Amino acid sequence: MLQVNNIRENKQDFINALKKRNFEAESILEEVLQLDEKRRATQVKLDDILAESNRLSKEIGMMFKNGEHQKANLIKEKTGNLKEDSKALSEELSETVAKLETLLYTIPNVPHESVPAGTSEDDNEEIFKEGDVPVLAEGSLPHWELAKKYDIIDFELGNKVTGAGFPVYKGKGARLQRALITYFLDKAIDAGYTEYQLPLMINEASGLGTGQLPDKEGQMYHITADDLYMIPTAEVPITNMYRDRLLTDKDFPIACTGYTPCFRREAGSYGAHVRGLNRLHQFDKVELVRIEKPENSYAALDNMVEHIKDILADLKLPYRILRLCGGDLGFTSALTYDFEVFSTAQDRWLEISSVSNFETFQANRLKLRYKNKEGKKELVHTLNGSALALPRVLAGILENYQTEDGIKVPDVLVPYTGFDLID
C-alpha cells in the first residue's frame, strides 16, 4: 500500500511511474488526497471537541467541590452536546478512514525506475542467459509422458483423488521431489537463511498484509467456515511473522526460508501450456524472504538473484533471467526478476522463480518499521523469491536429463536421492 504522505509529495511522479503499468492513476490519487484531507480535518475537529470536553469535565469537578452545583449542572448539559458531536465525528472519521484504506488497496506499487514499460510478457527484458540447451535424441518425450513411462508421477490418480492439478508423486519421483526440497533448504541455510516450518492456512489480516488480498482473492482457496485461506506461497506466513513489529538495528539482517505446499486456484487455466507439471493447483516450493533497511534492499535483491543462479548452475539446467516490464509486474512489486528454465522436449521456457523487491509497499500494510540511527521510525523494505518452485524444475530435469537408458539425476542431487538414474 502506498503511503499517503508520499502521494501528496510526489503525486505527478507516481502518476508517470504507474503509467508503466498501464494504470491511469491521476483521478484515483486525487480522490485519495481529498479523502485524506477530509480525514485530517475531521480528526482536528474531533481532537478539539475531546480536548474541550476534558477541560469542562475538570471544571465541573472543581465546581461541585466548591459547592457551585447549579453552574456545574449547566456546563454538564454542554458536555452532553459535545459527546454527541464527538460520537458523530468519530463515526465520520471511521467511515472516511475505511474509504481511504479501501481505495489505497486498489493502487499497485510504483515500479522501480529500471522497470521497462510494456503491456505483456512479450515486453519483458532478457538480461542474462546461461547453459547450453541439450540436443535430445529422436523420439525424446515431454515430462508428462516420461512420468508415465517410468511410473513416477500419476496425474490420473491425482485427478481421481482430488481433481486436475493435484498430481501424485510415486517411488523415485517422490524421492526426487523430496531431494530437491532438502537440497534447496540446505542451500538457503548455508547462505545464512533461518528455516521455518509454517502454517498452510492464513487469516484475512495476513492476506491483506502482503497484498494477496484483495488483489488475488479469486486465486486463493477460501475455507469459509473458518474464514481462512490456503497459502499461495510461503512468503505470506513468513512475512506476516513480522506484522506490527518495530525492529532495531540488532534485528538485521533478517533472512528466512521455508518449504511449504502452495495452493492456487488458477481459475480459467486450460490448454496445452498447463499440461503435466506446467501449472498446478497444489505444488511444492522453497521460499526466501528478506527484510532489509531501505538502503540495503537492492543489494539484498542482487544477492538473492545470485543465490538462485548458483542453484541452477549446480543443477546444470539452461536458464535465463528476465526483468519484468510494467505490464507484467506483480501488483505488490517494485522490481521483479523472473527465472525461466528451458524445457527441451516442449521447446519453450518455463518460469521457475520470481525474485522481487516490494520496497515499503508490504511494510506499510504490515505496519512493519524499524528505528533508524536518529531514533526515527521508518518503514522497512521486504523482498521474496522462489528458490525454487519445484514442478517446472522437475519438468526441466526430466526432459533435459532423459537418455535412452533412463533419466539421469543431476550430480548434486545424488547424495539426496541415493540413486543416479530413473529407469
Is 369 marked as binding a ligand? no
The grid coordinates listed for 194 are: 533461518
State the Cα–Cα distance between residues 90 and 47, nearest whole angstrom. Answer: 10
Is 359 marked as binding a ligand? no
Residue 336, beta-bridge partner list: 356
Instruction: Reply yes or no: is the peptide bond before residue 253 cis, omega within 30 of 0.
Output: yes
- Cβ atoms 341, 354 nearer than 8 A: no
Is 49 marked as binding a ligand? no
Is 279 marked as binding a ligand? no
The grid coordinates listed for 353 are: 522463480
Cα-based torsion angle of the residue sequence 306, 310, 312, 313 in order, rounded to the nearest 10 degrees: 130
Is 84 marked as binding a ligand? no
Is 353 marked as binding a ligand? yes
Is 60 marked as binding a ligand? no
Is 352 marked as binding a ligand? yes
- Cβ atoms 294, 359 nearer than 8 A: yes
State the Cα–Cα distance between residues 227 and 224, nearest whole angstrom. Answer: 5
DSSP string, 260-289: EEEE---TT--SGGGTTTTS-SEEEEEEEE
In what helix (H) or strand (E) does residue 89 lie, and over which residues does it extend?
Answer: helix 69-104
Is 95 marked as binding a ligand? no
DSSP string, 41-69: HHHHHHHHHHHHHHHHHHHHHHHHHTT-H
Residue 207 zone, left/alpha/beta (φ > 0; ψ -120 to 50; rest): alpha
Is 351 marked as binding a ligand? yes
**Checking DSSP bridges between strand 335-343 and strand 421-422, what pairing results, if any?**
unpaired
Q: Three-state SS for 132?
A: coil
State the Cα–Cα distance between residues 221 and 224, nearest whole angstrom. Answer: 9
How far, in Å, are 133, 152, 187, 199 from residue 180 at the CA level? 21, 15, 11, 21
User: Which residues are part of a known binding site for ATP?
Assistant: 264-266, 351-354
User: Which residues are part of a known binding site for L-serine?
Assistant: 233, 264, 287, 384
User: Which residues are part of a known binding site?
Assistant: 233, 264-266, 287, 351-354, 384
